[in-house]
Amino acid sequence: MNPTPAVLDRVAALPADALPAYLYDLDALRRHAAAVRAALPERVELYYAAKANSEAPVLAALRDTVDGYEVSSGGELAHLRATVPGAPLAFGGPGRTAAETALALRPGVHRWHLESEQELYRLAELLAATPEAEVDVLLRVNLPVASGALDSVALAMGGRPTPFGLDPERAEACVRLLAEPRFRQLRLRGVHAHLASGLDAPEHLAVAGQVVTWAVDLARRHRFELAEVNVGGGMAVDYADPAARFDWPAFGAGLAQLLAPHPGLRLRIEPGRALTAYCGWYATEVLDVKHSHGEDFAVLRGGTHHLRTPATRGHDQPFALLPVAAWPHPWPRPFARTGRATLAGQLCTPKDVLARDAPAPGLRAADRVLFQLAGAYAWNISHHDFLMHPRPGFHYLSGLNPWVDPPVPPAHPPAG
Ligand SMILES: Cc1ncc(COP(=O)(O)O)c(C=O)c1O
């Protein structure tokens, strides 16, 4: 979204050598999450997929709004237990080690998303040593959804061959095993499906409907009580239109319709990107402007080693230009001649591009650039150490809870 006043003020106050910097508006995050929550009907739980952004202030800011958090590794589990103590956690992930399986018994692990038959045996072996312990499981299923439903999405984790979850017949096999006395410490609560990222509300509802229908039928055939269905995350964020939003009111109304015929059922969703993308900005400055074979290139402080998302998803990261009047040097100020520019980073690779051939009227060296939608899958999925540039600063802005530059030490401080 457009930079908030708190973010603009902070960027203006930062000296150039404090850039690049990530800025999070935690109050904007809280407002957005509250609006999402308000759009959801009763019997729908909201979990936040911590992998989208697991920085402590972000997790803490969501604590009052979400019902729990989805984690996908032992590392995330430990981090969340320390950061949001007592919060319910749903623990998934396609490949868990024996040590990670042992975490199933930790307090806070509310649901275990069972991804394979081997996990079932491993969990049962672990539990055999603690006869009074029980673990609530959801079967993560990779359903073949009706043709076309996932054709346009950015990232598909299901509906096709993938390493995620169980094929329907393997899920059936697990249901049969779970009915055996030797697996009685594993309580089958229902089904989980996260099939894709980048779904708009009608697409997501179409997929969720198929998941619920399949789960209800599975429970009827195997005569177990279906308590809940987790229909995953994957709500779209439109990087080409930063003002656009996933239609949460329509989604909430659609979920209510899905639930209506099933009075005993609860649904759960676990969005990541669509909760936190909007509250983060990556701010930097233009180091140089080069005219190359007819095109303008703005070379920025920082780059895809801090914000890898546009390179991996193949989009242009939306940005706002913040002109800086002062030019303190005696030599001419480099500027973009064409009114457009490719915004590149400092890495020695042509892939280090944050936005390609974008409108950039009046762009000059020393101007600032504020990349939007940088609150999810941004810093935490980037290859920070390539070329050993300094790490960005981190600013968590909030009228309620002023976090300032918490513990991300500069791994590679600038020379000198
Ligand atoms: C199991 C699971 N749940 C939720 C999410 C969150 O997806 P998104 O950030 O697209 O909402 C992911 C993302 O990969 C996931 O793998």
Q: Whose CA is nearest to atom 2 of ligand 1?
A: 194
Which residues constitute the domain of residue 238? 40-271
Q: Are residues 122 and 153 in the same domain?
A: yes
Residue 102: DSSP 8-state? G
CB atoms within 10 A of CB 34: 13
Q: What angle do CA 69, 25, 236 make, to 5 degrees?
A: 55
> Is 191 domain-assigned?
yes
User: Measured in angstroms, how far is the CA atom of residue 250 from the centroid of ligand 1?
Assistant: 20
> Is 14 domain-assigned?
no
> Is 35 domain-assigned?
no
Q: Are residues 201 and 303 in the same domain?
A: no
CA-235 nearest atom, ligand 1:
11
CA-197 nearest atom, ligand 1:
10
Q: Whose CA is nearest to atom 10 of ligand 1?
A: 234
> Is 413 domain-assigned?
no
Q: What angle do CA 354, 233, 95 make, to 5 degrees?
A: 90
CB atoms within 10 A of CB 37: 17
- Residue in 54, 96, 194, 268 to alter for ligand 1 test, most ligand atoms within 8 A of Cβ: 194
User: Measured in angstroms, how far is the CA atom of residue 276 from the centroid of ligand 1?
Assistant: 12
Q: Are residues 291 and 232 in the same domain?
A: no
Residue 143 identity (one-letter amino acid): L
Give the separation between CA 334 and CA 42, rounded to whole angstroms: 57
Q: Are residues 330 and 257 in the same domain?
A: no
Q: Which of 13, 326, 348, 400 is catalytic?
A: 348
Q: Are residues 220 and 354 in the same domain?
A: no
User: Residue 407: its pLDDT value, please?
Assistant: 42
User: Measured in angstroms, how far is the CA atom of residue 135 from the centroid of ligand 1?
Assistant: 22
What's the pTM value of the predicted model, to 2 decimals? 0.93
Q: Are residues 194 and 338 in the same domain?
A: no
What backbone phi and psi angles, to 5 degrees, belong to 108? 100, -25
- Residue in 270, 313, 373 to alter for ligand 1 test, most ligand atoms within 8 A of Cβ: 270
User: Residue 399: its pLDDT value, please?
Assistant: 81
Q: Are residues 218 and 331 in the same domain?
A: no
Mean pLDDT across the chain, nearest whole number? 93
CA-233 nearest atom, ligand 1:
11
Give the separation between CA 315 and CA 303, rounded to whole angstroms: 14
Give the separation between CA 219 and CA 45, rounded to whole angstroms: 21
Q: Whose CA is nearest to atom 15 of ligand 1?
A: 194
Domain count, the chain: 2
CA-92 nearest atom, ligand 1:
1
Distances (CA, A) of 97 to 10, 92, 100, 170, 174: 43, 12, 5, 20, 20
Domain end call among 271, 288, 322: 271
Q: Whose CA is nearest to atom 5 of ligand 1?
A: 233
Nearest alpha carbon to residue 358 among 323, 319, 322, 324:
319
Q: Are residues 109 and 202 in the same domain?
A: yes
Ligand 1 pocket at CB < 6 A: 49, 51-52, 70, 92, 157, 194, 197, 232-235, 270-274
> Is 198 domain-assigned?
yes
Kindly give, in sequence order, each residue whose CB lies less than 8 Å from that of residue 285, ignoring residues fewer than 6 positions away: 16, 19, 300, 301, 324, 366, 367, 368, 369
CA-273 nearest atom, ligand 1:
9
174 is catalytic: no
Domain end call among 246, 271, 296: 271
> Is 410 domain-assigned?
no
CA contacts within 13 A on the Cβ side of 155: 15
| CB-based burial label for 227 (10 Å; 0-12, 13-18, 19+) | middle
Q: Is the Cβ–Cβ distance between 190 and 228 less than 8 Å?
A: yes
User: Residue 410: its pLDDT value, please?
Assistant: 44
Q: Whose CA is nearest to atom 1 of ligand 1?
A: 194
Residues of the chain with pLDDT under 70: 147-158, 400-416
Residue 96: DSSP 8-state? -
User: Residue 183: its pLDDT value, please?
Assistant: 96
What the block records as the tokens of 170 is: 């393997």
Q: Are residues 258 and 310 in the same domain?
A: no
User: Measured in angstroms, how far is the CA atom of residue 201 from the centroid of ligand 1?
Assistant: 15
CB atoms within 10 A of CB 198: 20
Q: Whose CA is nearest to atom 12 of ligand 1?
A: 233
Nearest alpha carbon to residue 222 among 170, 172, 166:
172
Q: Are residues 290 and 334 in the same domain?
A: yes
Q: Are residues 294 and 173 in the same domain?
A: no
User: Measured in angstroms, how far is the CA atom of residue 159 from the centroid of ligand 1?
Assistant: 15
Kindly report the CATH number assigned to the domain that includes residue 59: 3.20.20.10
Domain end call among 236, 255, 271: 271
CB atoms within 10 A of CB 355: 22
Kindly report the CATH number assigned to the domain that includes residue 344: 2.40.37.10
Q: Are residues 287 and 259 in the same domain?
A: no
CA-52 nearest atom, ligand 1:
9
User: Measured in angstroms, how far is the CA atom of residue 352 from the centroid of ligand 1?
Assistant: 25
Q: Is the Cβ–Cβ distance between 67 and 47 less than 8 Å?
A: yes
> Is 31 domain-assigned?
no
> Is 216 domain-assigned?
yes
